[in-house]
Amino acid sequence: MSDATRAIPSPAVPTETEWVKGLGLVDATMIVVGSMIGSGIFIVSADIARQTGSPGGLLMAWVITGVLTCAAALSYGELAAMMPKAGGQYVYLRESYSPLWGFLYGWTLFLVIQTGTIAAVAVGFARFLGVLVPAISPTAWIVRPIILSSKYAVSLSWQQLIALLLILFLTAVNTRGLRLGKLIQNIFTSAKGLALLGLILLGIFVGRNAAAVTSNFGDWWTPRGAQAIEPAADWLRSLVPAVSATTGALGLLIALCVAQVGSLFAADAWNNITFTAGEVKNPRRDIPLSLAAGTFIVITLYCLANVAYLTTLPLAQIQQAPDDRVATAALLVVFGNAGATIMAVAIMISTFGCANGLILAGARVYYAMASDGLFFKGIGKLNAKHVPAMGLVLQGLWAALLVLPRTRIKNPVTGVETYGNLYSDLLDYVVFAVLIFYVLTIAALFVLRRKRPDAERPYRAFGYPVVPVLYIAAATLIMVVLILYKTQTTWPGLLIVLLGVPVYWVWHRKSDRTLSGKAD
């Protein structure tokens, strides 16, 4: 009887303080792909074409981005397999150098990188919804711009309201548990991947323009319509020459480095899967694989998309695409006026899925920081659905706030004032900072192999030490060029990072006092 009535052990059920292991390899790859593909690939090629001035330069810029991104992802795989913990890159920097470096990354991520990107993607969704519903425009005011200073204002338009509602909705969805957030991510990533593939096939095989093909592929490197690139700071102009892609190999090299601001931003967020390591079923295997597979898929699609643009449009039309909407211009060739509507729907799908991936992943970093006593205490707790709800809410609120401030832009000729978005400036500022953290994280491979030679490494970085060294060298070169030629957008990014130092010491001292009090 005792054997018959003995309780059958039930499967372990996570408590409210534990993560749910709900992400498989496909789910993890979907997060990588979905977080990378937003609206950038449909827009930034126009600016890159103006900077590089040739079809070969345009494609070369994307190839460089692809090589850098895949090299970084392959290197991150070793760190992810070695330390499969929630927080990802924050944890790698903390363990490799010190808690300060981890905090500076998390601080910049929360202040601008993740939240600014969420704001930008949400406004992108609203902007293209405006193509379908013209009443949703950036100048259809609910609250007209309130002037704050000579450079800034705050407003609420219908476009901004839609962006706020999207952030609110996806934040609320992700507080309901991983399963629902994962489902949305998988559906929308699949849809936008197919949409981008459709754009590629239509551009190459249906919209094929014989004149564009002859002009672009028959005259691969001759620069035309190339922008002059000159130092942004006045004091540098006497020391550093102005160049363009027409001034030989040096000019082309500098143009390709400057162009990385757009292409690297369009390909960023591939590292977000490392933030969710605590929820991956087999993180030591699946995170490295998802990083490699996801980045390879996206970079392949990005390069093919640019081939489609060059097959459909002469380079001048790419450079002069209205509002830089190159993909829309390509579909106009195929579908006529309906192309704008089709592209708007595709970009809405893309930005919706991208925003969901960013929102889902980001809060895991703030959770790790709070668990270390370096962020608000409540952020370091999971709710009944086993997700960091308070981190999601705080992230959503800050991203929403970044949607509201506007930059004031006055046309020097007409005197007409228009309004830009503050988050756009902030994102320009942090491209430089993002590269700093990527270089530091990849350098961590060398640091940890020295500090912890016997640590378990289920996956070792492909091509070590050559591939990581090449990434560090190339990224450092890009940063040097940006310092010289994009000074006005690099030093503010560095300042944002450095402002985190005094904030770190405040949190650090507070954490020490708390631990001391518990000991007493």
pLDDT of residue 513: 59
pLDDT of residue 6: 40
Residue 470 and residue 71 in contact, taking contact as beta carbons nearer than 8 Å: yes
Spans in the chain with pLDDT lower than 70: 1-17, 427, 511-520
* Residue 409, number of CB atoms within 10 A of its CB: 11
Integer-rounded Cα radius of gyration of the chain: 24
Q: What is the 3-state secondary structure (H, E, C) of 58-83?
A: HHHHHHHHHHHHHHHHHHHHHHHHHC
CA 428 to each of CA 84, 300, 422, 486, 488: distance values in angstroms, whole numbers, following the listed order: 31, 25, 10, 10, 10
Residue 284, both tokens: 């030591």
How many whole angstroms separate alpha carbon 237 and alpha carbon 234? 5
According to CATH, the topology of domain 19-508 is Amino acid/polyamine transporter I (1.20.1740)
How many whole angstroms separate alpha carbon 185 and alpha carbon 205? 30
CA 188 to each of CA 38, 183, 185: distance values in angstroms, whole numbers, following the listed order: 11, 9, 5
Contacts of 109 by beta carbon, 8 Å cutoff, 6+ apart: 90, 362, 365
3-class DSSP state of 38: coil
Q: Which helix (H) or strand (E) holds 420?
A: strand 417-421
Tell me which residue of 132, 44, 43 sits closest to 340, measured CA to CA. Answer: 132
User: What is the Cα 339 distance to its own chain's centre?
Assistant: 27
Residue 79 and residue 464 in contact, taking contact as beta carbons nearer than 8 Å: no
Residue 127, both tokens: 């902007």
Chain length of the chain: 520
pLDDT of residue 69: 94
* Residue 463, number of CB atoms within 10 A of its CB: 14
Domain boundaries, the chain: 19-508
How many whole angstroms separate alpha carbon 297 and alpha carbon 12? 36
pLDDT of residue 418: 85
Contacts of 159 by beta carbon, 8 Å cutoff, 6+ apart: 123, 126, 127, 130, 136, 137, 138, 140
Q: Please identify which residue in the block is written with the tokens 């940063």.
A: 479
What is the bridge-based pairing of β-strands 141-147 and 405-410? unpaired
pLDDT of residue 180: 92
How many whole angstroms separate alpha carbon 155 and alpha carbon 113? 22
Residue 221 and residue 249 in contact, taking contact as beta carbons nearer than 8 Å: no
3-class DSSP state of 381: coil
CA 42 to each of CA 55, 267, 294, 387: distance values in angstroms, whole numbers, following the listed order: 16, 12, 19, 33
Query: Tens digits of per-residue pLDDT, 425-458?
Result: 776 777 888 899 999 999 999 999 999 999 999 9
Tell me which residue of 90, 81, 73 sits closest to 467, measured CA to CA. Answer: 73
pLDDT of residue 512: 61
Q: What is the 3-state secondary structure (H, E, C) of 290-348?
A: HHHHHHHHHHHHHHHHHHHHHHHCCHHHHHCCHHHCHHHHHHHHHHCCHHHHHHHHHHH
pTM: 0.90
How many whole angstroms separate alpha carbon 289 and alpha carbon 84? 13
What is the bridge-based pairing of β-strands 417-421 and 405-410? antiparallel
Residue 401, both tokens: 């706030």
3-class DSSP state of 143: strand
